[in-house]
Amino acid sequence: MDNLKAFLVFLESEKKYSRHTIYSYKKDLVDFIKFCELNHVSNISKAKYTLIRNFIVFLSKKGLKIRSINRKISSLNSFYDFLIKISLIKINPLENHKSLKSQKLLIEPFSQKEIETVIENIDTSNFSGLRNQTIIEIFYQTGIRLSELINLDINDIDFNQNRIKVLGKRNKERIIPILDSLSSILKRYIIERNKLIKSNNENLFVTKNEKKLYPSLVYRVVNSEFKKFSKKSRVSPHVLRHSFASLMINSGADINVVKEILGHESLAATQEYTKIKLPKIKDTYRDAHPRSKN
């Protein structure tokens, strides 16, 4: 367990992973540790590939989806690479492992009409309704991740410049421009939020009990509101993020600008991507987003 603790510290201090990501790694490794103990292996650093393969079979029989199994094995692979880095082992037992192949699920984005129908029909006569409408509106207008939305503070919103500061993956900050319509919605929400909050809580989105929002609550908000008007099988904050990107690109936005707004790290190294500057992002965003045309 000492090696596991050292690995988790490494992910936090060196890799700058979020708490949510570190928790996922920990859970994956603890699951394997328990499997090893059932198979009389007390130290996972000494596990052979045969045992890991049996773990994969075990997970499959439990009904885990291929994507979830691949994630757990990826966590194990990172752990063994870390053990090599600190000279605890010489060979990664997963060095020749190939991920299980799965059919890629296609995400069907919401249409502009679907999203705006949902927003227009939310009862905002109470705090929860106003908060829920604001949550969906900010997903719709910025495409931010669920974790980024939850971690927004009031001070992250710059109403003078009409932009939001977002803390993304690996604690990387980025600036997202916002339209006047979202700025007005946020101002209205914050007024009502501040009437409710009596403490020094700086979280933008809170519960009626003055607590920071949590992922399952946001999932429920999005799911419950969209199920009323959409027949799509997949309904989640991520589908809203996907919808934002689709709507922007379909409206003529430069795909590289969209990916910078979304904070996609995979394109950060490309020359064209790194040349994009905030003024261009602002202009493209305001010209392309459906809300800017209202």
Q: Which residues are catalytic?
A: 145, 169, 238, 241, 264, 273
Nearby residues of 7 by Cβ (< 8 Å), 6 or more positions away: 25, 29, 79, 82
Tokens encoding 71: 């994630």
Strands 157-158 and 163-167: antiparallel
What are the distances in angstroms from CA 232 to CA 65, 163, 215, 289?
21, 31, 21, 22
Per-residue b or e along 75-113, where b marks 16 or more CB atoms closer than 10 Å to that residue's CB: bbbbbbebbeeeeebeebbbeebeeeeeeeeeeebbebe
The phi, psi pair for 166, rounded to 5°, reads -120, 135
Cα 265 versus chain centre, distance: 13
H or E, element range at 136:
helix 127-142
Tokens encoding 231: 């027949």
In whole angstroms, give the CA distance from residue 211 to residue 199.
10
Radius of gyration of the chain, Cα coordinates, nearest whole angstrom:
22
205, exposed or middle or buried, with CB in 10 Å at 0-12, 13-18, 19+?
buried
